[in-house]
Amino acid sequence: MRLCLLILGFVLWANTASADLLTKAGAFNTGTGAATTTIDVTVGFQPKWVILLWSGRTETTDTVARADVSYGYGFVKDDADRGCIAYSYDDGNAEEVGRSGIRNDAALCSLDTSTGFDGLLDVSAVASWPSDGFQLVVDDQMPASFRVTYLAGGGADFTNVDIGTFNFQNALDVQITAPNFQPSVVFFLSNNLTSINSNSSTTRSTIIGVDIDSTQQALCGNAHTATAGQLSESRYYCLDGSEAFGTFHSTAVSPINRAAFDTMISQGFQYDQIEYTSAVAVVYLAIKGGSWAQGSVLTQTDTTTDITVTGLGHQPKGLLFLTAANVESTADTTTAPNNVGMGVATGASEEFAQSVYAQTNVDNMRSSTAVEHDAIYINQGALTSDSAPGSVEGLMDIQSIEANGFTLRMSDADPSSMFVWWVSVGTASSGGGCRGAFLLSGVGGC
């Protein structure tokens, strides 16, 4: 009897502990409802933070095809704390057209390349949320029912969350104290607009970045631009370990604002400028609580080699992946073409990804988009002619989650090894950890 009570007590403790840090990866469609229409997203709990990604695809099944691009990222806390950036360009145009935007009054935004914002989803008051999810509300009717990929976190372990904005400063030791707590992790969204809630046709870019400490920081961005009569130009910038956010030049498609994370401080975080051109607007998501780790891996050219990440100091409960489906960038140098995507996962049976591709150095714009419901990485193939369809050249997914890491494997082999950075969150283990290392066909540690 005493043994049974001990076992029951352990089970109850384990269930309580697991409820302290909750995560969910998933996908939903925005619909095309009129203003004030609400969208309930079921995640199994009320989240304290959500990261969103969309590409303009609408399908609920795995799809890759030529398409106009309407790509973006969003952050959700509540009806007072949210933000998004978006980027659009049109497939098949003889001249390059596109647009970027940034907002702090919506969680999801869509852009028409000619007119600007053409779809906005805000966040409902938390009191209106379902008990097992979150609720968005239409501010401006969406142009299509976008498929949206998300990673959500909740539970008592996440003690503080703040979403806000600041403008890039030409200085060292810049302190952002608006969070009013010391974060465990900070995510960033930026382009080269200096005014929040604005959009422009002279810039077509997005950058997402992350900071945990001075060695665990990364960013990934894409840009597409050309002037009248010139060939279309499509490029990416994706780095691990040295930069956290930045922006592209509007016509040269080169980095012009670059920042490196310095340290977390008692009221927020501190960064240093590496290169400065203008006071661009930045949206941040700061989270306190949980155990976080960041690192990178290389994809493989076969479907049998395990890619093992270990030494995290926690069992991953939520994973986010960013890639340009190419080699890692050289600092201060962009590379062609734009093939940027994001994946999220909470396990081998719950993983989602979206990506956008744009051919570079062509007369007519060529773009394709992809969505996957069983992968965390998409490498889209080149659009070698104006009539070429979109294609997938590489897919990667979660094989397993371990006590101190995770294992990936290609489900569709890449033509060559590509760079992918990741972020992991879980509950800290008693043994501590280190910055994640990865091994091929093996298990390793710090």
Band of pLDDT at residue 192, cut at 50, 70 and 90: confident
Mean pLDDT over 357-372 rounds to 92
Q: How far apart are CA 7 and CA 1, in angstroms?
A: 10
pLDDT of 440 > 70? The answer is: no
Cβ burial, residue 34 (10 Å; 0-12/13-18/19+): exposed
Residue found under tokens 């990440």: 309
Task: Give the pLDDT confidence of 226-261 residue by residue, as tens digits.
Answer: 555 567 778 899 999 999 998 876 665 678 899 999
Contact between residue 242 and residue 260 where contact means Cβ atoms under 8 Å apart: yes
pLDDT of residue 353: 98
Band of pLDDT at residue 16, cut at 50, 70 and 90: very low
Band of pLDDT at residue 413, cut at 50, 70 and 90: very high
pLDDT of residue 97: 78
Mean pLDDT over 154-166 rounds to 98
pLDDT of residue 228: 56
- CA neighbours within 13 Å on the CB side: how many for 196? 17
Task: Give the pLDDT confidence of 260-277 residue by residue, as tens digits.
Answer: 999 999 999 999 999 999
pLDDT of residue 194: 94
Contact between residue 442 and residue 308 where contact means Cβ atoms under 8 Å apart: yes
295: enclosing H helix or E strand: strand 291-298
Contact between residue 446 and residue 433 where contact means Cβ atoms under 8 Å apart: yes
pLDDT of residue 280: 93
pLDDT of residue 17: 41
pLDDT of 437 > 90? The answer is: no
DSSP letter (8 states) at residue 428: B
Which one is predicted more confidently, 192 or 194?
Answer: 194
pLDDT of 388 > 50? The answer is: yes
- CA neighbours within 13 Å on the CB side: how many for 43? 27
Contact between residue 111 and residue 87 where contact means Cβ atoms under 8 Å apart: yes
